[in-house]
Structure 1
């Protein structure tokens, strides 16, 4: 490995450690507004079971999202954003 690249990586790890310990602030922070899962589901007129199948999650997971005990992350959060923004397109795409 190139010595300069290695030194950059070591410096990045030190900075990450400082941020994790609260010694330094991150240079930038991203916050995503969460989608109201229940409102999204109700707006397209699906039951919890139907919507859970559409999202490929269990009904229990969907209930946890709707009751704010858990929050969708990663691909599920992205898919929910798409469903909330363009439900017709999402439904047409997901029903194949």
Structure 2
């Protein structure tokens, strides 16, 4: 390995260690805002039970999302984003 590349890698590791110990600020931060599940559901005009069935989750899970006790993650969060941007496609695809 070339010395300049090795030195860059060592410096990166030192910076990562300092950030992990909170001795240095992170150069980038990402804030992911969870979708407003109730607003998404109301936008497409479904009841809680209908929307829970569409999302393949229990009504209790949906209620927890709507009351901000829990946030959808992973595939559920991705599907909610799709519902928000293309509700007609989602309804046509999943409501069969």
What's the TM-score, normalizing by structure 1? 0.74
Residue 51 of structure 1 is matched in structure 2 by 51
What's the TM-score, normalizing by structure 2? 0.74
1:56-95 equivalences under 5 Å are 56-95=56-95
Identify if the C-alpha distance between structure 1 residues 29 and 40 changes in structure 2 by more than 3 Å, giving closer, same or farther: same
Distance 2:13 2:55 in 1: 36
Give the superposition deviation at 1:13. 6.4
Unaligned runs of 5+ in 1: none
Deviation string 1:24-46 (CA, Å, 9 cap, x unpaired) is 32232222232111011112111
Aligned residues: 93
**CA RMSD in angstroms, aligned pairs only:** 2.5
- Of the structure 1 ranges 59-68 and 28-37, higher mean CA displacement relative to structure 2 is found in 28-37
**Is 1:34 matched with 2:28?**
no
Give the superposition deviation at 1:66. 0.4
Identify if the C-alpha distance between structure 1 residues 89 and 28 changes in structure 2 by more than 3 Å, giving closer, same or farther: same
Unaligned runs of 5+ in 2: none
Larger Rg: 2
